[in-house]
Amino acid sequence: MAGEEQQFLQDYAPREYPSVALTVDLVVFAVTGSTLQAAFVRRGGHPFKGSLALPGGFVGPNEDALTAAWRELEEETGLDLGAHRAHVEQLATYSSPKRDPRMRVVSVAHLALLATDGRTLPALDPGTDSAAAQWLPVYEVLAQETLAFDHREILTAALERLAGKIEYTLAAARLLPGEFALYQLRRVYQAVWNTDKLDAGNFTRKMTGALHDTGRKVARGKGAPAAVFTVRDEYLSPPMIRPAAES
């Protein structure tokens, strides 16, 4: 049987089958103030030259998709997720036959949540494949911009996954440092859900059961010092209810 297997592999001709290329795309979310931001690039070459796009590129012959995603992100934006507090997960696979005009290309999209202090974002530096790299407000991009390939579909799916997950988990805390104040967490919810309709008192009641009070406080501008928390339980029970979108 082993000999038959070896002979089969020797005789196998991959070139007889249609070629399919594998790529990765990344949606990297971060929050400043109450605004959800994502990392974008301006494509420096064809196809879609000059168009806004998500960072990404082709998977190398000796790479898995996750390794390629980290490499491509650093090459196109200068952002090394390993140097930051970040969460990365696979989002979905996109395989429409006509999603890329060059050839049949399947993309494995990833969602990354980058923790920040809510005030500043890491600087982005475009690589050789990008004409520019920048953080942009997600909801403004979706309302005003045309994206390359099927990147609007990918961005929308990533946003919906995050918006849904924070209803019943503390995934929102992954966009913050390991220790944070409740007002910072509430701003993340406002940013992801694109709303200012989150009552502070109700939010506090919903959250405190899943958080650990460190007993420390931090200064908060002109207001009273704010208590500092860490995540105690990943799940929210009862869940937060997302406010209805404004018409």
Does 40 reside within a domain? yes
Residue 2 pLDDT > 80: no
The last residue of a domain, from among 147, 165, 183: 165
Confidence of residue 33 (pLDDT cuts 50, 70, 90): very high
The whole-number average pLDDT for the span 103-128 is: 94
Confidence of residue 246 (pLDDT cuts 50, 70, 90): low
Does 13 reside within a domain? no
Q: Alpha carbon of 85 to those of 114, 116, 141: distances in Å?
A: 6, 8, 25
Residue 1 pLDDT > 70: no
Mean pLDDT (the chain) is: 93
The CATH number of whichever domain residue 175 belongs to comes to 1.10.10.10
- Percent of the chain surpassing pLDDT 90: 80
The larger pLDDT score, comparing residue 8 to residue 60, is at 60
The larger pLDDT score, comparing residue 246 to residue 38, is at 38
Confidence of residue 223 (pLDDT cuts 50, 70, 90): confident
Report pLDDT digits (tens) over 80-105: 999 999 999 999 999 999 999 999 99
The last residue of a domain, from among 165, 199, 217: 165
The whole-number average pLDDT for the span 49-59 is: 96
The last residue of a domain, from among 149, 165, 181: 165
The CATH number of whichever domain residue 62 belongs to comes to 3.90.79.10
- Percent of the chain surpassing pLDDT 70: 99
Residue 247 pLDDT > 70: no
Q: Which residue range is the domain that position 186 belongs to?
A: 168-231
Report pLDDT digits (tens) over 168-209: 999 999 999 999 999 999 999 999 999 998 988 999 999 988
What is the tally of structural domains in the chain? Answer: 2
Does 8 reside within a domain? no
Does 16 reside within a domain? no
Q: What is the pLDDT of residue 127?
A: 82
